[in-house]
Structure formats: C-alpha cells, structure tokens
Amino acid sequence: CDARKDAIQSLQLESGERIGPRYVFDATNAFRLLPKLLGMKPKSLVTDLRIIFTHFLLDPRKKDTLRIEDHHWMQFSNVLRHYKSVSGFEGTSWCIPLRDYVSVGTSVPGSVSLSEDELMEVTLQQFKKRNIDIAEFYNQPTKRQVIHTDLYYYPKVHGRNWLLAAGCACQPWFTT
C-alpha cells in the first residue's frame, strides 16, 4: 500500500504470486482484511451488545389453515423498542415472519443482567400486547442463539483504488 497515493499497489496471493490490482473490494465483513492491513481503526457505535434470537416453526396442524392476509403482523417485519419503564430493560426486538417460521430476537447492552429465557419471555409478552401473538401459530422454537458483538464504522471507506464493502465498512446491526 502506498499511503501517499492512498492506493493498493500489489497483493500477494496465497501461492506467493504478486498481482497489481486495478481495484480492491474488501467484502470480508467482520474479518475486515483491508482495514487491518492498512492499520485503520474503527469508530465504535456500541460495545458489548448481546443478541438473543431463535426461530419459531409453524405448528404443522395450522399449515393448511393459516391465511397470512388475516394477520397484519405476518405481512411485514416488526421492530419493537424496549424501555426500562415498560419492559424492565433497554433494547430492541424483532419479529420477522417468513411463512413457515418466524425469526424473533432481542438485542440489549451486555450489562443487562436478565437471562436469555427472561429476555425472550418479555419479548414475546411485549409483542403479544401489540397483537402479535407468535405462539398462536408458531409454537416450536429452534435452538436459541446468543451472540456478543460490537457495532462500528470506519470514517474512511475508500481510497484511490480500494473500497470497504458491507460489514467491512460498518456494522450498524448484528449479522448471523
């Protein structure tokens, strides 16, 4: 890399061969190869975010009778903001219906002491208060996943012949 020209001059392949690229797109997402090689430091948006999510499978007995158009919440993604005064914690949840299953999850600061079971229970209760009764049709949870992550962005995402793409440039929400 030539810092004065803000350009990638060559890349060494695994075989040892060097090539002179016209343009380098880094889409290595969380690995962030180019920022590491260029000595770039990300700016933090959130540190220590805990994400709990699962998929609830459609009850097979309801498969033939489910009419998505009869249920407003099944027609789009639903996002719910949690407030300490209402839910007992600060956070964000989602419910994304995908016909045969629903993705449900919650993201909270790592400092929230509630267990994953407690967080999921509160999330389901809060959705139900808003007429999103997930268990009415989707009552078979898959294995729950827990991810700890940081959210970040790079103030500079391109140079003369290079570009940081997707999760390599910024991570404003978690990915699985």
| Residue type, position 57, single letter | L
Task: For 92-133, write each residue's pLDDT tens digit.
Answer: 999 999 989 999 999 999 999 999 999 999 999 999 999 999
Which residues have C-beta within 8 Å of that of residue 106, sequence separation ≥ 6? Answer: 51, 52, 53, 82, 91, 92, 93, 119, 120, 123
Task: For 19-75, write each residue's pLDDT tens digit.
Answer: 999 999 999 988 899 999 889 999 998 889 999 999 999 999 998 888 999 999 999
Q: How confident is the model at residue 3 (pLDDT cuts 50, 70, 90)?
A: low
Beta-bridge mates of residue 53: 105, 145
The token duo for 121 is 């229970």
Of residues 172 and 56, the one with the higher pLDDT is: 56
pLDDT at 175 over 80: no
Of 84, 103, 85, nearest in space to 94 by CA: 103
**CA 84-124-138 angle, 5° bins:** 165
pLDDT at 2: 63
Give this prediction's pTM.
0.76
Phi, psi of 91 (to 5 degrees): 175, -175
